[in-house]
Amino acid sequence: MDEITARHNEKMRRIKAARDEMMKTKTEEKGLIMVHTGKGKGKSSAGFGMIMRCIAHQMPCAVVQFIKGNWDTGEKTFLRERFADECRFFVSGEGFTWETQDRERDIAAAQNGWKIAKEQILDPEIQFVLLDEINIALRYDYIDIDEVVDFLLHQKPRMTHVCLTGRNAKPELIEAADLVTEMELIKHPFRDGVKAQQGVEF
């Protein structure tokens, strides 16, 4: 064994020993409140990745999709056509507010989505709920942030996971969450005039 390999092996041995010690302290299990926010792409995609994991682990799950409305998204088609028994999929909203041009209608749709979301989170059969683009509805005050945070902290069943996606997550939600990821925008083809691509954006 040469010197470089020996040094590498010793370094890996030390890292593994330290990690094994650290893992001994990680014993708690709980349903997580997770937030995916930021200007970068991938917030919803990451949420739907967890939906796929839940299905693989036979964990019943649900999606409540805010704002996007009747977009023909690949994830909606895929889940409704192939995994309807494993994952409930609800759509609440008719598109972004600049498309509907009707704030009262947007508020009513968001409020209905939140009602559905609470029902799914409280359902003892459901173990994971994805609230896709709810942060947009919260940003425009279509749904009361204090009500959402209070529900998640005090009424969500202990072992139920909830993931909330969308730009501009409110500070109250970030404070309440167990895990927050901010997607950072570094480069995007939209800036170069490239439109949303099927299979990538939707």
Give 87-127 as a 3 state SS string.
Answer: EEEEEECCCCHHHHCCHHHHHHHHHHHHHHHHHHHHCCCCC
Cα–Cα distance for residue pair 146/66, rounded to 1 Å: 18
Cα–Cα distance for residue pair 134/121, rounded to 1 Å: 14
User: What is the average pLDDT across 96-105?
Assistant: 66
Choice between 137 and 197, residue whose per-residue pLDDT is larger: 137
Cα–Cα distance for residue pair 94/27, rounded to 1 Å: 43
pLDDT at 48: 97
Cα–Cα distance for residue pair 112/9, rounded to 1 Å: 57
Average pLDDT, the chain: 89
pTM above 0.85, yes or no: yes
- Angstrom CA distances, 122 to 10, 93, 187, stand at 49, 22, 39
Cα–Cα distance for residue pair 152/128, rounded to 1 Å: 13
Q: Using one digit for the tens of pLDDT, what is the confidence trace for 127-149?
A: 999 999 999 999 999 999 999 99
Q: Greatest CA span in the chain, whole angstroms? A: 72
User: What is the average pLDDT across 114-135?
Assistant: 97
Contacts of 57 (CB under 8 A, 6+ apart): none
Q: Which among 40-44, 66-70, 98-102 has the top mean pLDDT?
A: 40-44
**Residue closest to 149 by CA, chosen among 35, 63, 43:** 35
Label residue 99 by pLDDT band (50, 70, 90): low
Cα–Cα distance for residue pair 202/200, rounded to 1 Å: 6
